[in-house]
């Protein structure tokens, strides 16, 4: 449990948000099945023994205080942790029926199916068009790029805002537009899953609302996993919520743990673990 001195200041205030929760679709077609997942950075076990099943075509939120390992876990789903030389993954993540960390799995192929949007909008220093076209181009796309770009931007509800400036630099867009461009760029590759690692933490509330609308819209076709610091966001957009926190071991070592994973309505109205309740009511973290 996080000690008060290290608990992050929560911007969300202390009350449970007054929202209507979304009905969680059943987990009939699991996309990810996580079993006994631990992640090590060098000798340090950053995340310990995570077990969860993530369903298709719905939004799964991961919440919890800073340092609880939620970003570490989400980066396992598309093998972005491979980029950190000291990172090591133990346990199983099954993507449909395949072991994501299996011997002959190509991380490049994994990332084409499982896209990712990052905390800070990171468009390439290229035109809007080239940002969208980048993924299809490196993937050897053979069709009509112009059509694909238009279709993708329409899909991401960005077409009307940018259709007259496709050739201008993406860096000239506002932060919120940049982030939506990054989401559009991800769906241009036609993945099945979109991972979002705190996608709104650098954005103002209006831009955040637009991203949330877009997430809801995209969840009809894509499986979305979102890490967020913002509890109301989790409550507003997600179908299921996973609550992580930091456990302090016998020798003072800290591990991220999954405490509770359930339908969002349950987590926010009637959590079964005291630590979850403390967190969502603002008593801790």
Partner 1 sequence: MDNHALGKGPDADILEARRLKGDGSPWRERFFQLSLWASLAVGVVFLGSLLTYVVVEAWPRLDLRIVTNFPDIIDPSQAGAQSAIMGTIWVIAFTALYCLPVGFLTAIYLEEYAEPDRWWNRAVEINIQNLAAVPSIVYGILGLGIISRGLGFGQTVLTASLTLSLLVLPTVIIAAREAIRAVPQSIREASLALGATQWQTIWRQVLPAAVPGMATGSILALSRAIGEAAPLLLLGGLTFITFNPTGPDSPFTVLPIQIFNWISQSRAEFVSLAAAAIVILLVILLAMNSLAIWLRNRYSHRW
CA atoms within 13 A on the CB side of 14: 2
Left (φ > 0), alpha (ψ -120 to 50) or beta: where does 141 sit? Answer: beta
Minimum CB–partner distance for residue 197 and partner 1 (Å): 10
Q: Does 134 help bind partner 1 (rule: CB under 8 A)?
A: yes
- Contact, 73 vs 39, CB < 8 A? yes
- Residue 203 touching partner 1 (CB under 8 A): no
Exposure of 276 by Cβ count < 10 A (0-12 exposed, 13-18 middle, 19+ buried)? buried
Q: How far is the CB of 151 from partner 1 (least distance, A)?
A: 17
Q: How far is the CB of 178 from partner 1 (least distance, A)?
A: 11
Query: Among residues 180 and 254, whose Cβ is nearest to partner 1?
Result: 180
The partner residues of 127 in beta bridges, in order of sequence, read 169
- Does 266 participate in binding partner 1 (rule CB under 8 A)? no
CB of 188 to partner 1, least distance (A): 8
For residues 55 to 74, the per-residue mask of contacts with partner 1, x marking binding by CB under 8 A and - elsewhere, is --------------------
Contacts of 114 (CB under 8 A, 6+ apart): 77, 78, 95, 191, 192, 193, 194, 195
Binding status of residue 255 toward partner 1 by CB under 8 A:
no
Q: Which of residues 104-123 bind partner 1 (CB under 8 A)?
A: 108-109, 111-112, 115-116, 118, 120, 122-123
CB of 172 to partner 1, least distance (A): 12
The answer to whether the CB of 7 falls within 8 A of the CB of 13 is: no
3-state secondary structure labels for all residues of 196-235:
EECCCCCCCHHHHHHHHHHHHHHCCCCEEEEECCCHHHHH
Rounded alpha-carbon distances, angstroms, from residue 272 to 259, 262, 280, 284: 10, 9, 12, 16
Residue 138 found at the interface with partner 1 (CB under 8 A): yes
Q: Does 248 bind partner 1 (CB under 8 A)?
A: no
226 or 280: whose CB is closer to partner 1?
A: 226
Residue pointed to by tokens 């079964």: 272
Nearest distance, CB of residue 10 and partner 1, angstroms: 26
Size of the site for partner 1 (CB under 8 A): 24
Q: Should residue 178 be labelled a site residue for partner 1 when binding is judged by CB under 8 A? A: no
Choose which of 64, 65, 69, 135 interacts with partner 1 (CB under 8 A).
135
Q: Are strands 193-197 and 223-227 parallel, antiparallel or unpaired?
A: parallel
Q: How far is the CB of 252 from partner 1 (least distance, A)?
A: 26
Q: Is 87 left (phi over 0), alpha (psi -120 to 50) or beta?
A: beta
Extended beta strands in 96-237, E state: 98-99, 114-117, 193-197, 223-227
Q: Is 80 in the site for partner 1 (CB under 8 A)?
A: yes
Residues that bind partner 1 (CB under 8 A): 78, 80, 83, 85, 108-109, 111-112, 115-116, 118, 120, 122-125, 134-135, 138-139, 182, 185-186, 189
């Amino acid at each position: 449990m996080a000690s008060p001195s290290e608990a992050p200041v929560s911007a969300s205030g202390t009350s449970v948000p007054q929202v209507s929760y979304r009905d969680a679709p059943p987990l009939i077609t699991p996309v990810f099945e996580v079993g006994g997942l631990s992640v090590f950075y060098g000798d340090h076990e950053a995340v310990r023994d995570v077990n969860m099943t993530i369903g298709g075509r719905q939004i799964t939120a991961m919440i919890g205080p800073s340092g609880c390992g939620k970003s570490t876990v989400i980066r396992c789903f598309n093998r972005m942790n491979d980029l950190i030389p000291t990172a090591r993954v133990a346990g199983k993540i099954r993507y449909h029926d395949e072991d994501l960390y299996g011997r002959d799995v190509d991380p490049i192929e994994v990332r084409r199916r499982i896209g990712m949007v990052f905390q800070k909008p990171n468009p390439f220093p290229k035109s809007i068009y080239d940002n969208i076209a980048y993924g299809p181009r490196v993937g050897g796309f053979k069709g009509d790029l112009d059509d694909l770009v238009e279709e993708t931007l329409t899909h991401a509800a960005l077409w009307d805002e940018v259709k007259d400036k496709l050739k201008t630099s993406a860096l000239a867009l506002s932060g919120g537009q940049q982030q939506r461009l990054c989401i559009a760029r991800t769906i241009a590759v036609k993945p099945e899953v979109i991972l979002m690692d705190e996608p709104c933490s650098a954005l103002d509330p209006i831009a955040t609302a637009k991203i949330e609308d877009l997430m809801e819209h995209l969840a009809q076709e894509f499986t979305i996993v979102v890490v967020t610091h913002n509890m109301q966001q989790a409550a507003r957009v997600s179908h299921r919520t996973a609550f992580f926190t930091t456990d302090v071991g016998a020798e003072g070592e800290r591990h991220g743990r999954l405490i509770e994973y359930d339908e969002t309505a349950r987590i926010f109205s009637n959590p079964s673990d005291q630590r979850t309740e403390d967190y969502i009511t603002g008593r801790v973290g």
